């Protein structure tokens, strides 16, 4: 892997357009559950069964209990070496964009600013009835109410079966169409539309790199595949860059 790592490192040219996609594997190294495999259950519920609009409509108190537990858990997590390395990469490569599928806010806490949160944020809430939305770090009551209209607030995340936040996919596709280098980090490449970003970037001429603990459906499409912990690999890639 060392030869491939050095080749990828040489591609991190400040004059290139670089797009990075991150997934749950990056935050797992900070202790954030992935909700796959052994982490797939909360109490007796599958996370995928709670992160749905119909689940919230039927049992909002249960869904809010789940999300308040997640918020409390993530509040105790810190950005890891992978998060920090991507923030350094952004500082040293002017034409850079980080697209994350994660909702924990750890990239922003690490210093990333050229950041698109595809699936929203655990720290954002919005009203189910009016247009009110806000960042909310403080602990929330079991069923938080909108301060504007009194209706129920919901987590500001994209649930299964919901469209992405308006404009997010358009921006991602536009940036991928101009990328010289596309790097996916810590993602299983199973969830659409992000799983298609690799092929889209490749179709537009980008060099593609996969960084993940294990092979994914996109490994065979990658120009380079670096398998291991993102928190080990990314610091090596940015070694020599000045933060």
Which residue from 172, 3, 202 is spatially nearest to 100, judged by alpha carbons? 172
Range 204-243 burial, b when 16+ CB lie within 10 A, else e:
eebbbbbbbeeebebeeebbbbbeebbbebbebbbeeeee
Question: Which percentage of the chain shows pLDDT scores above 70?
Answer: 95
Mean predicted confidence (pLDDT) in 220-224: 95
pLDDT value at 214 more than 70: yes
Q: What is the CATH number of domain 2-32+79-119+164-237?
A: 3.40.50.1220
Considering the chain, what is the average pLDDT of its residues?
93
pLDDT tens-place string over residues 5-38: 999 999 999 999 999 999 999 999 999 987 665 5
Separation between Cα atoms, residue 74 and residue 211, nearest integer Å: 23
Given the residues 83, 107, 119, 198, the one annotated as active site = 119
pLDDT value at 41 more than 80: no
Separation between Cα atoms, residue 96 and residue 181, nearest integer Å: 10
Helix (H) or strand (E) run with residue 88 in it: helix 81-92
Which residue from 194, 183, 175 is spatially nearest to 237, judged by alpha carbons? 183
Active site residue 119: yes
Predicted confidence at residue 40, as pLDDT, reads 58
Separation between Cα atoms, residue 187 and residue 34, nearest integer Å: 10
Predicted confidence at residue 26, as pLDDT, reads 97
Which residue from 124, 141, 123, 142 is spatially nearest to 133, judged by alpha carbons? 124
pLDDT value at 58 more than 60: yes
| DSSP class of 165 | P
Predicted confidence at residue 42, as pLDDT, reads 77
The answer to whether the beta carbons of residues 122 and 102 sit under 8 Å apart is no
Quickly state the pLDDT bin for 179 (edges 50, 70, 90). Answer: very high
In the chain, which segments carry CATH 3.30.1600.10?
33-76+121-157
Kindly state the tokens that stand for 128.
């189910």
Predicted confidence at residue 223, as pLDDT, reads 96
Which CATH entry fits the domain spanning 33-76+121-157: 3.40.50.300, 3.30.1600.10, 3.40.47.10, 3.40.50.1000?
3.30.1600.10
Predicted confidence at residue 134, as pLDDT, reads 96
Kindly state the tokens that stand for 186.
């810590």
| DSSP class of 131 | S
In the chain, which segments carry CATH 3.40.50.1220?
2-32+79-119+164-237
């Amino acid at each position: 892997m060392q030869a491939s790592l050095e080749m990828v490192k040489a591609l991190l040219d400040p004059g290139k357009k670089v797009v990075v996609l991150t997934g749950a594997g990056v935050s797992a190294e900070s202790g954030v559950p992935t909700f796959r495999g052994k982490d797939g259950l909360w109490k007796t519920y599958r996370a995928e069964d709670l992160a749905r609009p119909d689940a919230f409509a039927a049992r909002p108190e249960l869904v809010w209990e789940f999300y308040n537990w997640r918020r409390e858990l993530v509040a105790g997590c810190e950005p890891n070496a992978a998060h920090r390395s991507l923030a350094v990469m952004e500082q040293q490569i002017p034409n850079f964009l980080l697209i994350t599928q994660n909702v924990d806010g750890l990239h922003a806490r690490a210093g990333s600013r050229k950041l698109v949160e595809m699936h929203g944020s655990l720290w954002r809430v919005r009203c189910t009835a009016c247009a009110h939305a806000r960042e909310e770090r403080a602990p929330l009551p079991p069923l938080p109410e909108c301060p504007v209209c009194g209706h129920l607030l919901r987590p500001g995340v994209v649930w299964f079966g919901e469209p992405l936040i308006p404009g997010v996919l358009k921006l991602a596709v536009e940036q991928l169409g101009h990328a010289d280098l596309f790097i996916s980090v810590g993602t299983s490449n199973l969830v659409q539309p992000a799983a298609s970003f690799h092929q889209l970037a490749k179709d537009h001429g980008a060099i593609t790199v996969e960084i993940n603990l294990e092979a994914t459906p996109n490994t065979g499409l990658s120009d380079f595949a670096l398998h291991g912990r993102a928190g080990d690999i990314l610091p090596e890639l940015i070694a020599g860059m000045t933060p």
